[in-house]
A and B are shown apart, each in its own frame.
Chain A
Amino acid sequence: MTTATAANGFTDAAFESFLETRSAEPDWLTTIRREAWQAFSEMDWPARNDEEWMRTDIRMFHLDKFALPTEPATAPELAPGLLTHDVELGGTLVSYNSSATEDSLIGELASKGVLFGSLDRLVVEHGDLLRPFFERQVVNRTHDKFAALHAACWSGGTLLYVPKGVAISQPLHGMSAMGDSGVDLSKTLVILEEGAEATMLSETASTSPNGGGLHCGSIELIVEPEAHLRYVNLQNWSTSVWHFAHQRATVDRNASLQWTIGALGSKLAKVNQQVALTGPDANAQVNGVMFTEGRQHLSYNTHQHHMAPYCRSDLLYKSALQDRSRTVWRGMIKVDLAAQRTDAYQRNDNLMLAPTARADSIPGLEIEADDVRCTHGSTSGRVDEPQVFYAMSRGYTRTEAIRLIVAGFFQQVFDRITIESVRNALGDAIASRVQDLDQQAAPEVQG
């Protein structure tokens, strides 16, 4: 169980031998890695007085308990993904402990010039094509020590590249799995060239129900003018995994992005999710569905950055919290001076399923343009007892009634998600997690 705890985790020597295993990579990428490693070595871990980290305690996180991922001897049999039920896929990538174990794309898409699959492989095969997208640095490689660690040491990961004008109807699917004490440093890069259209479904899973591990990853979504991307990522690690992620999308002129994130797993998650609207009339919809239990701590920093005029962004995050779990949402809408006629919205609703759970909601606006419409809101509340009684008076058991009310709570965000398999998967996963909540229930009136 503890064999993966290599003695000399993330040392200079380990990094050098990691680079040796990647000698096929183009030089420009090695340079990026070395620079990031340098930055990583010089940076401190985030401190509790950093505003971004004030509510998220990582003193129990010790990087030296983990090691740079190596090729797995054999990947175990993996359970099928949650997002792909009844879906005809255009391609599949499965990875285990940050290296690809299954990598496929249907011929019809390959012949149109679509690239999909292992980023490890594709960055070697198509280095010149991918170089400018890496150099754009969609996610800031030195945002913090985690970003730098990832930029230096990423491995595995997924690429979706859709050439100009190509529209894909079959979703592409990526599954990242992790074994006990595993490490996943995968990077996701999605590039839709001008006028392209695609749907990508990503999810994570742990192979053992209580297996620990570390994910330190990034997602970069590049949506060029007139392109349309639907992207889903479901974080479903075991509740013992550390999850650190930087995720950013750029959406250009007349392009649209529907980005849905689901978060069910991890012990502690710290996610920076940013959407930048870089060209006029760009449109971004962000949907977040979170369900936490036990002592999980999920912290999300969301950022809607309006850089160009006439863009819309609409963010809705909903979480339900059980036991002693906790969520933190800090949302920021930033509107540059150039981004006149911005229409931006952000909202976070929390449903407290136990009095011991806690949700912090901190919306924020930073607006330099003067002709904009920006609105935000947040709510937190318990399950409404009169609603529970009403459903019970129609024959629902108490647990069924609470499940029903929780499902109704999430319906508002499900109503926005246009992919049926994703709605169903999230709905089912949440329903199965709502416990028998009898003791939270004891109506207060019986005093």
Chain B
Amino acid sequence: MSETLKITDLHVAVEGKPILRGVNLTINRGETHALMGPNGSGKSTLGNAIMGHPSYDVTGGTIEINGQDIMEWDASERARAGIFMAFQRPMSIPGVKMADFLRHAATNVRNPERKEGEDLIPMREFRKELKEKMSQLRMDVEFARRYVNDGFSGGEMKRAEILQMAMLRPKFAILDETDSGLDVDAVKLASQSIAEIGGAEMGILIITHHDKLLDYNAPDFTHVMLGGKIVETGGVELAQELYTQGYDRIRAAYPEEAALEEELAEETATA
């Protein structure tokens, strides 16, 4: 039986300012979705709202997993339910080693019922798995001993996000511009790794401006966001059109959303 992440008529405001204005999106496990759209159209906002970021106020609509409403769940509960987001700008946590961070995280996510203070995954077992995943991603073993994202380059952070996804084995993953900051080879490796980690098992939402990350993860669906709404959904050919020809056709076809987008962009510029 297939599992589903379903977003219905989602409205989200940030600091009182409406950003998403009625987003509908259904992702089944095993499907790959590309989400494209100009900067500022609300793609990251959608991801953060799904993950349960407290700064993003859901003012209307629902988010469900397999028919269960998760609106009241905090980020921790959502992570344990199998939702993962690779952030556009990951946070650093100085003083906390990557390996320790992930051991605790993986323990919680794999045993959603775990109570605070109960045993973590045995060290040996965890180390072995982490080492394997790191070598798959061609990451230096020394990485595990560094503090979480502390002093990482842009590319290192993005790879670390993929490593976290590999260790947490989510059911649904949102990858927010995981390709930006990576060079061509690194994007290729990332694309391959995402496919290996379980493109087939996960429901993936890939937010990107480029085609390379999609090379090994051909989208079943491509969505275009404009002015806080998904205005068009197509197949892989839509993604191709957008990264070769840009958004002019879309803007012309949806003048109302294009106007909203401009308004948002201006507010952002003058804020």
Query: Which of A's residues lie within 8 Å of B, judged by CB?
Result: 384-387, 389-401, 404-405, 407-412, 443, 445-447
B96 touching A411 by the CB < 8 A rule? Answer: yes
Residues of chain A within 8 A (CB-CB) of B55 are 443, 445
B87 touching A390 by the CB < 8 A rule? Answer: yes
Cβ-neighbour of B108 out of A396, A407, A446 (below 8 A): A396
Cβ-neighbour of B74 out of A385, A390, A392, A407 (below 8 A): A392
Q: Report the bound CA distance from A391 to B164 in whole Å.
A: 12
Residues of chain B within 8 A (CB-CB) of A411 are 94-96, 147
A408 touching B94 by the CB < 8 A rule? Answer: yes
B101 touching A400 by the CB < 8 A rule? Answer: no
Q: Report the bound CA distance from A412 to B94 in whole Å.
A: 9
A394 touching B168 by the CB < 8 A rule? Answer: yes
B105 at the interface (CB under 8 A from A): yes
The contact sample of 15 A-B pairs, CB cut-off 8 A, is A385-B54, A387-B93, A390-B90, A391-B101, A392-B74, A393-B76, A393-B85, A394-B108, A395-B109, A407-B96, A409-B94, A409-B95, A411-B95, A412-B94, A443-B55
Q: Report the bound CA distance from A408 to B97 in whole Å.
A: 9
Q: Report the bound CA distance from A400 to B79 in whole Å.
A: 14
Closest to B84 in A: A393
- Annotate B95-132 by CB proximity to A: 1 below 8 A, 0 otherwise: 11000011011101100000010000000000000000
B93 touching A408 by the CB < 8 A rule? Answer: yes
Known: A389-B54, A389-B75, A404-B96. A394 touches B105 (CB 8 A): yes
B91 touching A387 by the CB < 8 A rule? Answer: yes
Cβ-neighbour of A404 out of B75, B76, B93 (below 8 A): B93
Interface centre among A385, A395, A398, by most B CB within 10 Å?
A395
B80 at the interface (CB under 8 A from A): yes
Besides A408-B93, A410-B95, 10 other A-B contacts (C-beta < 8 A): A391-B93, A393-B79, A394-B105, A394-B109, A395-B106, A396-B108, A401-B76, A404-B93, A411-B96, A445-B55
Q: Report the bound CA distance from A407 to B101 in whole Å.
A: 11
Q: Report the bound CA distance from A386 to B147 in whole Å.
A: 16
B64 at the interface (CB under 8 A from A): no
B116 touching A399 by the CB < 8 A rule? Answer: yes
Write the nearest CB–CB distance from A390 to chain B, whole angstroms: 4
> Top 5 closest A-B pairs, CB basis?
A408-B95, A411-B95, A395-B108, A394-B105, A392-B75
B51 at the interface (CB under 8 A from A): yes
Write the nearest CB–CB distance from A209 to chain B, whole angstroms: 20
Q: How many residues of B are in contact with the other chain, CB < 8 A?
A: 36
Write the nearest CB–CB distance from B209 to chain A, whole angstroms: 23
Residues of chain B within 8 A (CB-CB) of A404 are 93, 96, 101, 104
A400 touching B116 by the CB < 8 A rule? Answer: yes
Residues of chain A within 8 A (CB-CB) of B14 are 445
Residues of chain B within 8 A (CB-CB) of A384 are 91
A445 touching B75 by the CB < 8 A rule? Answer: no
B211 at the interface (CB under 8 A from A): no
Cβ-neighbour of A396 out of B15, B95, B105, B147 (below 8 A): B105
Q: Report the bound CA distance from A401 to B78 in whole Å.
A: 15
Residues of chain A within 8 A (CB-CB) of B53 are 389, 393
B75 touching A400 by the CB < 8 A rule? Answer: no
A405 touching B93 by the CB < 8 A rule? Answer: yes
B156 at the interface (CB under 8 A from A): no
Q: Report the bound CA distance from A401 to B101 in whole Å.
A: 10
B201 at the interface (CB under 8 A from A): no
Known: A387-B93, A389-B53, A445-B54. A408 touches B108 (CB 8 A): no
Cβ-neighbour of B164 out of A394, A445, A447 (below 8 A): A394
Known: A400-B116, A445-B15. A395 touches B91 (CB 8 A): no
Write the nearest CB–CB distance from B183 to chain A, whole angstroms: 25
Closest to A411 in B: B95
A392 touching B93 by the CB < 8 A rule? Answer: no
Q: Report the bound CA distance from A394 to B102 in whole Å.
A: 8
- Annotate B35-79 by CB proximity to A: 1 below 8 A, 0 otherwise: 000000000000000011111010000000000000000111011
Known: A387-B91, A394-B109, A395-B168. A446 touches B54 (CB 8 A): yes
Q: Report the bound CA distance from A384 to B150 in whole Å.
A: 14
Q: Report the bound CA distance from A4 to B249 in whole Å.
A: 88
Known: A389-B54, A393-B51, A395-B168. A408 touches B96 (CB 8 A): yes
Q: Report the bound CA distance from A33 to B65 in whole Å.
A: 76
Write the nearest CB–CB distance from B242 to chain A, whole angstroms: 28
A395 touching B79 by the CB < 8 A rule? Answer: yes
Q: Report the bound CA distance from A393 to B165 in whole Å.
A: 11
A392 touching B76 by the CB < 8 A rule? Answer: yes
Closest to A415 in B: B95
